[in-house]
Structure 1
């Protein structure tokens, strides 16, 4: 059942990435611009698919929004250049143009509605992604790992030890995090604070990653 679900998600992801290419194929009027704009759209679609499958580390919802808007702008520029060079299109092309505009409009509408829904769903605190945990310098190791949610935030907590007999102060120095640092969890949509820091208040060195709610 889970495998079938993943197949459907992958198929929808591929369709979403391919929609701008389909729209441009119907809209393009000259071989040169068909190739130039098509190559740019194909590169964007490939990057989006890489994000969807986790091959490239990037926020998926933000990537879908950037792809939809960026692809539409690229197509608009390509169509404007063709109109400048070729003039108004003939009657058969006008019907193809209207179909392409409807296809892109549907893509943008679905993307913006999905982005709004995602933003509303992501307003609460949730467990930080494992990818948010920074890589440890050589000579350090994770002794134990825990995760939980408290009042207003969720966290991952890693107790850090040494593989070469470093002292507590030396471990802290190697982690090189004298102060807690925070950044937005996403690019555009997820503006929750993702914070990373080191705590040694009980004698053990712990690296923590917290993700707070949007309104906390």
Structure 2
């Protein structure tokens, strides 16, 4: 099982669109058009990276939209150029065009796997660091912490000297709600990704436990923080 952390928010649009830019350069035969389309593709990558930073939940939708726009841009540039001779098509256009087609097939296959709902391990950065004075211990995890629909991570929290369990619970509740957890569950993606992550609090004596779960299902309706 995977862990959902900042790696999942890397600019996938650079990984997806970057090779298209590199393959376009040997495909083009007109310097002016080659530079124009290359600049448009570079701007598209920068714009998509900015949008992912501003709207991280829509990373799949932005990357897919960027891929479509990149293909339209390359096709437009190809149509703007004079029709190549048969020899040129064989020596200069055919190879990069074939590589581009193979790359698109690979991206589509990987995209289908990425969109398929699956349980995951949420990152502890969703709740850490805790307020000053509270001590958190994030427990190790492995595939044994996953069921058929969700994976779980636990964090044990020790309160300040003399702090009661009820007071510790109330402080943690304020803390996680301030970090956008609401009633405890929130979506990971936007339109294509329906997976959900949840946070649940429990207290025993003077110690509390934060349980994070990553579910393949849409559990936004669940209330795990009362």
Scaled to the shorter chain, the TM-score interval is 0.5 to 0.7
Contact 1:119 1:189 survives alignment (8 Å): yes
Counterpart among 138, 157, 160 of residue 145 in structure 1: 138
Matches of 1:131 and 1:115 in 2, distance apart? 26
Gaps in structure 1 of 5+ consecutive residues: 1-13, 49-57
Change (3 A) 1:32 1:135: farther
2:153 aligns with one of 142, 151, 156: 156
Q: Helix, strand or coil: the match of 2:83?
A: coil
User: Matches of residues 68-83 of structure 1 in structure 2 within 5 Å?
Assistant: 70-71=66-67, 73-81=69-77, 83=79
Residue aligning to 1:19: 19
Shift in Å at residue 23 of structure 1? 1.8
TM-fit CA distance, 1:34? 2.3
Q: For the residues of structure 2 that align with 1:137 and 1:152, how far apart are their CA atoms?
A: 28
Please report how far the alpha carbon of residue 132 of structure 1 lies from its aligned counterpart in structure 2 after TM superposition.
Answer: 5.6
Q: Does 2:99 match 1:106?
A: no
Distance 1:81 1:118, change over 3 A: closer
Q: C-alpha root-mean-square deviation of aligned residues, in Å?
A: 4.3
Give SS of 2:102's match: helix
Q: What is the deviation of 1:41?
A: 4.5
Q: What TM-score do the two structures reach when normalised by structure 2? A: 0.57
Residue deviations 1:129-166, cap 9 Å, x none?
43663333541544333343356322111123456976
2:83 paired with 1:89 = yes
Residue equivalent to 2:202:
200
Write out per-residue CA displacement over residues 88-136 of structure 1, whole angstroms, 9 at most, x where no aligned residue.
323154443343332211111122223334556x63x34x143663333
Residue equivalent to 2:35 = 35
Q: Secondary structure at the match of 1:21?
A: helix
Structure 1 pair 187/23, CA: closer, same or farther in 2 (3 Å)? farther
Number of positions where the alignment pairs a residue of Structure 1 with one of Structure 2: 183
Structure 2 Cα separation of the partners of residues 106 and 156 of structure 1 = 39
What's the CA shift for 1:24? 0.2
Q: TM-score, normalised by structure 1?
A: 0.59
Distance 1:93-1:77 versus aligned 2 partners, 3 A rule: farther
More contact order relative to length (CA 8 Å, sep ≥ 6): 2
